[in-house]
């Protein structure tokens, strides 16, 4: 599977380790930067490129990394067609894929040790979207809103 990666300085070392890990598992990591450590860099240029690549390539997934993963997840969610979720555990990563059809995982390099971070990513990549009607209905509401369709109707309205 092709996995698009983007980070900032705080996620740089984890991104490098993750790329090696993904390659060893037979995945194809695509590194959108940064290509070298710079303590003053900003995450949007790298994360937005990774997210745009995921949106442009159905079937691919993405992982965006920073200190907490929060800003990176927020940035990725600005890209139309991206559903980014913050991964705190293997369970949240699994549910993000199963229930939300998330295609980008936000991960905090300062929040996890390397082994745990790799387990969270592995769980995300190994899980498929369930396609259950209730989840599809909810995703459709969000997709419609994202496309300018307005707010979904309130229940009973």
Q: Which of the residues are catalytic?
A: 72, 99
Q: Taking a C-beta distance cutoff of 8 angstroms, is the pair 72, 44 a contact?
A: no
134 sits in which H/E element: helix 133-146
Whole-number Å distance between alpha carbons of 67 and 45: 16
Q: Taking a C-beta distance cutoff of 8 angstroms, is the pair 39, 65 a contact?
A: no
Q: Taking a C-beta distance cutoff of 8 angstroms, is the pair 87, 119 a contact?
A: no
**Two tokens at 4?**
């698009």
Crossing angle of helices 114-126/12-24, nearest 10°?
A: 50
For 152, counting Cβ atoms within 10 Å of its Cβ (0-12 exposed, 13-18 middle, 19+ buried), the class is middle
Whole-number Å distance between alpha carbons of 16 and 35: 9
């Amino acid at each position: 599977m092709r996995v698009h990666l983007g980070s900032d300085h705080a996620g740089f070392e984890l991104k490098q380790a993750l790329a090696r890990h993904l390659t060893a598992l037979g995945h194809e990591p695509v590194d959108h930067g940064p290509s070298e450590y710079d303590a003053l860099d900003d995450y949007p240029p790298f994360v937005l490129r990774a997210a745009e690549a995921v949106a442009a390539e159905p079937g691919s997934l993405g992982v965006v990394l920073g200190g907490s993963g929060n800003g990176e997840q927020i940035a990725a969610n600005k890209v139309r067609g991206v559903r980014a979720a913050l991964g705190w555990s293997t369970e949240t990563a699994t549910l993000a894929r199963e229930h939300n059809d998330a295609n980008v995982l936000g991960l905090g390099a300062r929040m996890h040790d390397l082994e745990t971070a790799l387990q969270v990513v592995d769980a995300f990549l190994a899980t498929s979207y369930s396609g259950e009607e209730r989840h599809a209905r909810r995703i459709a509401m969000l997709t419609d809103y994202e496309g300018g369709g307005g707010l979904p109707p309130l229940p009973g309205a």
